[in-house]
Amino acid sequence: MSPWVYLLLAGLFEIGWPYGLKIAQQDSHRILGISMAVICMIISGALLFLAQKQIPIGTAYAIWTGIGAAGTFVLGVLVFGDAMGMMRLLGLILIIGGVAVLKLSH
């Protein structure tokens, strides 16, 4: 599999652990949420490890955290009703733009 696919998947699993921690705040979902968070952390880390075999560490880490940050932000807006103002949208666009520039410059 391509290291970029590993990195994309690592970033997507990076979104899963804050989501797990969020749902773990409900007593009825505590074990499920914590389990989900830990599993996503392990999978995300393992996929990042595989991606870094061919992608420079700085590029891989920045893209990984960018996918996780942007994805978690969108998840918060769509699922948990987090605020979406113009400045927050601009921040999201800047994160996505930065990730795109890093990918294109590799």
pLDDT one-digit tens code per residue, 60-71: 999 999 999 999
Sign (positive or negative) of CA dihedral 67, 70, 76, 81: negative
- Is the pLDDT at 102 greater than 90? The verdict is no
What's the confidence (pLDDT) of residue 34? 98
Number of compact structural domains in the chain? 1
Statement: the pTM of the whole predicted model exceeds 0.85? yes
Q: Name the residue range of residue 96's domain.
A: 3-105
Asked if residue 1 lies in contact with residue 20, where contact means CB atoms within 8 angstroms, the answer is: no
Query: Please, what's the b/e burial string for 30-40 (b: 16 or more CB within 10 A of its CB; e: otherwise)?
Result: eeebeebbeeb
The pLDDT, as a whole number, for residue 74 is: 96
